[in-house]
């Protein structure tokens, strides 16, 4: 999953606040195991505003990315962004389900690559959903289950190893395919689509053409697939999880090849104003 923080012009020399220097240093030295009292206070305030659990995991890479981003001058706005952005994504997904007119109630949802619950905690509030979260990190699964109180299942490093033993009305992967290498990209489309019920939907986002500026505007290869082995998740092999940009033509070809279906809907730069949203419907 990806968090996109507010832009700042970067002109001149940016003065990094002392609190940010201290937090970043603690994380860099592997000593960031507990949240500061100020973080806990802001977590509680933001969570109370949204009516969700305030618990965050110290290894939550999205929380870390946001809290250490130099675009935030104080901890409070950074924490607010973490909770606000998770809520916004949950609300966007709920609106999409309404537009798709999914008849099932509750809607059986698989939130794939859920991380440590940035969006999950907000999806949990939606009474129209019966949700299972899924992630590659065992500690995330434990946290989601024990602290956030949601059903959670461990993912697999290879697509063929994913077998959850159940199917869903919707499978949602937010900013997962924006990190997959060429070798597994299409195979993950096939693996996730295999967990969709007939008449159900696979929904996922990608780095598309609007995302190129976030990666220094690389020239796209002829096949429409660009990959760089770099990631904010330092515990994952960058050969398996890096930075990926794909063209619409590549996605359409790959979806057809892996699922036998055509793309049901494509929304350009829909998520965070730069990631494309893709929806694939399984024929009933």
pLDDT tens digits, 106-158: 999 999 999 999 999 999 999 999 999 999 999 999 999 999 999 999 999 99
Closest by Cα among 150, 244, 145, 230 to 188: 244
For residue 223, is pLDDT > 90? yes
Mean pLDDT of the chain: 89
Residue 223 and residue 246: Cα distance in Å, rounded?
9
Structure tokens at 252: 């359409």
- Please state the pTM of the whole predicted model: 0.87
Whole-angstrom distance, CA of residue 193 vs CA of residue 203 = 9
Type and span of the H or E element at 246: strand 243-246
89-281 is classed CATH 3.40.50.720: no
Residue 216: predicted pLDDT: 94
Most trustworthy range by pLDDT among 25-39, 219-233, 242-256:
242-256
User: What gap in Å lies between CA 58 and CA 48, rounded to an integer?
Assistant: 20
- If 0-12 CB within 10 Å is exposed, 13-18 middle and 19+ buried, where does residue 13 land? exposed
For residue 3, is it left (φ>0), alpha (ψ between -120 and 50) or beta? Answer: beta
Strand duo 275-281 + 196-207: pairing: antiparallel
* H or E segment and range at residue 257: helix 248-259
Q: Provide the residue ranges of all domains of the chain, joining segments of one domain with +.
A: 18-84, 89-281
Closest residue by Cα to residue 203 from 282, 85, 135, 122:
282
């Amino acid at each position: 999953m990806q968090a996109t923080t507010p832009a700042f012009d970067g002109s001149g020399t940016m003065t990094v606040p002392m609190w940010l220097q201290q937090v970043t240093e603690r994380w860099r030295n592997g000593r960031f195991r507990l949240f500061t009292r100020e973080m806990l206070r802001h977590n509680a305030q933001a969570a109370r505003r949204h009516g969700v659990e305030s618990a965050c995991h110290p290894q939550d890479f999205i929380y870390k990315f946001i809290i250490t981003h130099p675009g935030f001058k104080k901890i409070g706005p950074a924490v607010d962004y973490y909770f606000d952005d998770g809520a916004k994504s949950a609300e966007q997904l709920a609106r999409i389900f309404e537009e798709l007119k999914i008849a099932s109630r509750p809607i059986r949802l698989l939130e794939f690559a859920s991380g440590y619950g940035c969006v999950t905690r907000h999806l949990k509030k939606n009474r129209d959903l019966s949700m299972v979260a899924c992630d590659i990190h065992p500690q995330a699964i434990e946290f989601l289950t024990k602290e956030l109180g949601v059903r959670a299942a461990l993912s697999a490093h290879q697509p063929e190893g994913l077998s959850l033993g159940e199917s869903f009305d919707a499978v949602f992967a937010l900013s997962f395919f924006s990190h997959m290498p060429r070798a597994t990209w299409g195979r993950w489309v096939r693996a996730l689509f295999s967990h969709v019920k007939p008449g159900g939907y696979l929904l996922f986002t990608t780095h598309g053409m609007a995302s190129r500026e976030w990666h220094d505007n690389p020239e796209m290869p002829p096949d429409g697939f660009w990959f760089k082995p770099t990631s904010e998740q330092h515990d994952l092999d960058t050969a398996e999880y890096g930075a990926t940009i794909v063209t619409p033509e590549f996605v359409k070809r790959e979806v057809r090849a892996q699922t036998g279906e055509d793309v049901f809907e494509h929304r350009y730069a829909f998520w965070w104003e730069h990631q494309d949203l893709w929806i694939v419907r399984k024929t009933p």
